[in-house]
Amino acid sequence: MGCPICGKNTDSMWLKFSRKHVYMSHRKGLGPTHSYRDKKAWFDGKSEHGRTGRILTGHEVSQNLRNFKNDFGNVKGSGRKRKRIVLLSDSDDSSIESEEEEEEEEVEVDEDELSRWKKRSILFKLPYWEVCIA
Amino acid sequence: MDVMHVEKNVASSIVSTLLHCGKSKDGLNARKDLQNLGIRKDLHPTTQGKRTYLPAAPWSLSKKEKKTFCKRLHDFKGLDGYCSNIARGVSLEDCKITGLKSHDYHVLMQQFLPVALRGLLPKGPRTAILRLCAFFNHLSQRVIDREVISVMETEIVETLCMFERFFPPSFFDIMIHLTVHLGRETRLEGPVHFRWMYPFERYISLHLTLNT
């Protein structure tokens, strides 16, 4: 969830007692024959043979953020306003799904992805921006 | 991504874990997690009667070592304009470090931590910390070499694995993970000091003083 570069491929683990997500398994980034990969007792008791996930390209990020709506200002604690925002976003999603039936899977990914972002920068309005963010 | 905040958060979590102050990543819950994961049996909490004991870990400094560490930081005297007075944030009595600013952590990470830790921790965690400091030092040079950067990228992964070996799982929040990507960004976008947040943070503080 946490990393904007790895996207949804981020390796995370929930710690029950500390009550937080941690991002370990850096051994995946090592070379395929690195000696650390087979050291079980040093790390989590398993040998690691996975590889790091692909990082997001600029095009993917801008695709994900395409439908992002900025809502500025403080959201007050009253329940009514919150509800309205949720309703709005729901209706948005349904309209998107109806418009683009082919990309249904992508839209599902989007909701997951969008939860990571707080704001769509105005720089994304530039036509060439997705090429710039490598 | 912003090097300033990553560096600050990483440095503060290292220092607080070493000294058991502030937001230390070690504690009863961290040890319980180790127990839950079933790894590193020598660090699990042990119960004797009513009390629960946490065995000494490779990342913890002994009382004497804490004293030396704080003394070294406290006694530092730098040039004018090099950094703020770090001794203000170090308390020698209870061996705690509080109230450092992000630039203090920058200086700490770049140059002080390797010196202050000399001969203190067990060798493994010490090397890991020194390697991380060296990474940040290379990263924020004014002149960078692309080939050196790509070597650093592979090295930082290895360094983080060394951290995984010695430090508790609760240490690895997202900021530690983000260091992996810093090398690549520097390779693509150029030196760090053109795109970090220090000038903007100063600018914000200027506005705050003007408004009040």
Q: Mark yes or no for CB contact B178/A3 under 8 Å.
A: yes
Instruction: Work out the percent of chain B whose per-residue pLDDT is above 90.
Output: 57
User: Is B29 an interface residue toward A (CB < 8 Å)?
Assistant: yes
CB-defined contacts A:B, below 8 A: 79
Q: Does B23 touch chain A (CB under 8 A)?
A: no
Subunit contact A30:B157, Cβ cutoff 8 A: yes
In Å, how far are B9, B109, B137 from B4, measured between CA atoms? 9, 11, 12
- What is residue A4's predicted lDDT score, i.e. its pLDDT? 82
B91-127 pLDDT tens trace: 998 889 988 999 999 999 999 999 999 988 899 999 9
Contacts of B127 in chain A (CB under 8 A): none
How high is the pLDDT of residue A39? Answer: 87
Q: Is residue B191 a contact partner of residue B149, using CB atoms and an 8 Å limit?
A: no
Q: What is the average pLDDT score of chain B?
A: 90
Position B12 scores a pLDDT of: 93
- In degrees to the nearest 10, what's the CA dihedral of B138, B144, B146, B147? -60
What is the pLDDT, as a whole number, of residue A80? 52
Inter-chain CB proximity A2 and B32 less than 8 Å: no
Contact A23 B169 (CB under 8 A): no
pLDDT 10s digits, B153-170: 999 999 999 999 999 999
Return the pLDDT at A77: 62
Of A23, A36, A55, Cβ closest to residue B177? A23
Smallest CA–CA distance from A45 into chain B, residue: B39
Question: Does position A34 have pLDDT exceeding 70, yes or no?
Answer: yes
This complex has an ipTM of: 0.77
pLDDT digits (tens, 9 = 90+) for A53-103: 888 888 888 888 887 778 787 776 655 545 444 444 444 444 444 444 334
What sign does the CA torsion over A86, A92, A93, A95 have? positive
